[in-house]
Chain A
Amino acid sequence: MAERKQKYERRPVLDSAVADLLSNMEQKQIEAQLPRRVREKKARERIKIQSRREQRATYDLPPALRQRVKEMAEQERLPASQLVTLALLRFLQDYQGGKIDLADYKQSSHSPRYDWNLSLPDELLAVLSQKQRRRSTPKLLKEDS
């Protein structure tokens, strides 16, 4: 019993801010000891990651839609993010042009956070089960032609 207790001893949890700060400082100290070229590369990577942070967003999507976007991106040899950006821009264009009326999809919500939920009609969801139509990709190199 004593052996088991020793094995599963609970680890104390640091104050989250203290843990974050300590880990950042340790990371920076490790980096400071690396060769100059590696250090500069890491600094560039850090700046790149930081600059992209503004572009990041997290939304919940139906798994089938996510899979469809992934497949389409692979087929078209495009980054999935750019494909989603195009889709959203086209949606906003249609929404602002009055082609889409959200009232058609709205249903009252029981959540204290939202007044409405969107109920997606079956014919729209059916898009996900339709077979993907292949389009010819533009040729990039002369040799391809």
Chain B
Amino acid sequence: MKIIAFANQKGGVGKTTTAINLAHGLALLGRRVLLVDLDPQGHVAFGLGLEKTPGLYQLICLETPIERVVRTARANLDILPSDKRTEKVKRQITLSDFRENILDDLLRSTHYDVILLDMAPSLDVLHINGLVASDWVIIPTRLDALAVDGVKEILLTMGEVAQRGHIFQGYGVLPTFFDRTTRETLVQFKEIVRAFNTRVWPPIPQDTRVREAAAFGKTLWEYSPESPAMTGFSENKIHLGGYRQILERVMEVLNG
């Protein structure tokens, strides 16, 4: 089993969208996937067309078995949903012993092939729990100075977690909302390539279909499988970026 976190301390960078679409992509490839929503906004369930429920709260605060709190969203894809009661989870964790490993212990006992963690744009005990549980971290970022700063912040946090003995197998920086027509995109893209080099993954193009899919409660695999966000930029019949290519990268991560 591998646990992959989607994290960036800046909000609105595409963490949930990326997590949902990659989770469904992996499920379509036959992997048994659990997508955990660590954000009290509860947008994982919403994005998949389900009701927000306090799954994480029931699991950690009420100690309900995980099999009873997960919801099946699609074939091979279960979600552990969140809602505003997830805020109470943070308080519960703060009061617990061995508090940084609570999530890791709960998730490692499950039968899934891969678990994806959709992290909240915050820095709290739940965020640390998510990082401690994860083997790999994918950091979606818009190409603007604030979001790129968020990447640096999450890497600092990962560094602190690593200093406490946790070993990350790797991380990737995923540019999202990529609009290659603007000069600022190129400037910021060069900047993150210079700073993170091989860790930079091919970008996800800016695409209105992404917003539409979320409004209908569908993933891009269902709503618009050939949209630019899925297929990437077409250069001389070669596709660069897009969720299909990112799914290939994730499969490489899963296959070691």
Which of A's residues lie within 8 Å of B, judged by CB? 12-15, 17-18, 20-22, 24-26, 29, 50, 53
Give the nearest-CB partner of A24 in chain B: B235
Give the nearest-CB partner of B190 in chain A: A22
Main secondary structure of the interface of B (DSSP, over half): mixed
Residues of B within 8 A of A53 (CB): 236
Instruction: Given A14-B197, A15-B200, A18-B200, verify A25-B180 contact (CB < 8 Å).
Output: yes
Q: How far is the CA of A15 from the CA of B249 in the complex (A)?
A: 10
Interface size of B in residues (CB-CB distance below 8 Å): 22
Instruction: Given A12-B198, A13-B198, A15-B201, verify A22-B238 contact (CB < 8 Å).
Output: no
Q: Would B202 and A15 count as touching, CB distance under 8 A?
A: yes
Residues of A within 8 A of B202 (CB): 15, 17-18, 21
Residue in contact with B203 in the complex, picked from A12, A14, A21, A50, CB distance below 8 Å? A21
Q: Produce 1/0 per residue, B182-218, CB < 8 A to A.
A: 0101100110010001101111000000000000000
Residues of B within 8 A of A20 (CB): 235, 238, 240
Q: Would A15 and B180 count as touching, CB distance under 8 A?
A: no
Instruction: Given A17-B241, A21-B240, A21-B241, verify A26-B198 contact (CB < 8 Å).
Output: no
Q: List 7 A-B contacts (CB under 8 A).
A: A15-B201, A17-B202, A18-B193, A20-B238, A21-B180, A21-B189, A25-B185
Q: Would B197 and A26 count as touching, CB distance under 8 A?
A: no
Give the nearest-CB partner of B199 in chain A: A15
Asked if B101 is at the interface (CB within 8 A of a chain A CB), the reply is: no
Asked if B136 is at the interface (CB within 8 A of a chain A CB), the reply is: no
